[in-house]
Amino acid sequence: MRAIRVASAALLGACALALATPAAYASSESRGFRVSVLPETVAPGGQVTLHATGCDKDVFVSSSVFDDVTIRQGRSRAVAHVDWDARPGRLYEVTFRCGTFWQTAGLTIAGGRPVDPTPVPVQPSGGAHAGAGGSLAGFDLKEIVLGAALVAGSVGTAYRFSRRRTDEESG
């Protein structure tokens, strides 16, 4: 009989832990974050349009060939002006950051002879984004406190029920 109560308490604790998972993992930013640079080839001093979809935050875009750009939340694109001193034939990496997730795209500067004729894959990049990697980045303080309160409450309740039943049986 005691084994059933202990198993019930353990199941209650496991359910509370599962429900305490922050909503950040379920957000759309980790799934479907897509980026592109159009056109993919541009002359020095030219203009490119930076596209990012699937992020519910501001997207920060950086590259060594133009100034940093922010695609504001609710928008999917922004414009960047390529530096006049960009080297023709060179492939530059453009990095898009959405919270703790990032993607890269390539931008080739027109003219001149290609520096490296070998095609460089630009998708996928950075490997699988399987989570925050143990960091607290992207988690709201309210979510952390709420999760900790749920876990503490469920563990405390399970302990109380298991102790109360033991006290009733022994008395």
Does pLDDT of 79 surpass 80? yes
For residues 53 and 113, state if they share a domain.
yes
Q: Look over the chain and give the mean of its residue pLDDT values, rounded to a whole number.
A: 76
For residues 127 and 145, state if they share a domain.
no
For residues 128 and 147, state if they share a domain.
no
Output the pLDDT for position 114: 47
For residues 86 and 163, state if they share a domain.
no
Tally of structural domains, the chain: 2
> For the chain, what is the radius of gyration of the CA atoms?
25
Beta bridge partners of 98: 59, 101
Domain that holds residue 18: 1-22+140-171
Single-letter residue type at 14: A
Does pLDDT of 50 surpass 70? yes
Task: Please tell me which of 50-64, 101-115, 140-154 the model is most confident about, judged by mean pLDDT.
Answer: 50-64
For residues 157 and 120, state if they share a domain.
no
Average pLDDT for 37-54: 93
CATH of the domain at 123: 2.60.40.1930
More reliable by pLDDT, 119 or 83: 83
Q: Compute the distance between CA of residue 37 and CA of residue 82 in angstroms, rounded to an integer.
A: 12
For residues 36 and 113, state if they share a domain.
yes
For residues 88 and 147, state if they share a domain.
no
For residues 122 and 156, state if they share a domain.
no
For residues 52 and 113, state if they share a domain.
yes
Does pLDDT of 132 surpass 60? no
Average pLDDT for 65-76: 93
Q: Compute the distance between CA of residue 5 and CA of residue 158 in angstroms, rounded to an integer.
A: 9
Q: 95, 61 in Cβ contact below 8 A?
A: yes
For residues 87 and 5, state if they share a domain.
no
Q: 32, 158 in Cβ contact below 8 A?
A: no
With tokens 């203009």, the residue in question is 47
For residues 52 and 104, state if they share a domain.
yes
For residues 122 and 146, state if they share a domain.
no
pTM of this prediction exceeds 0.85: no
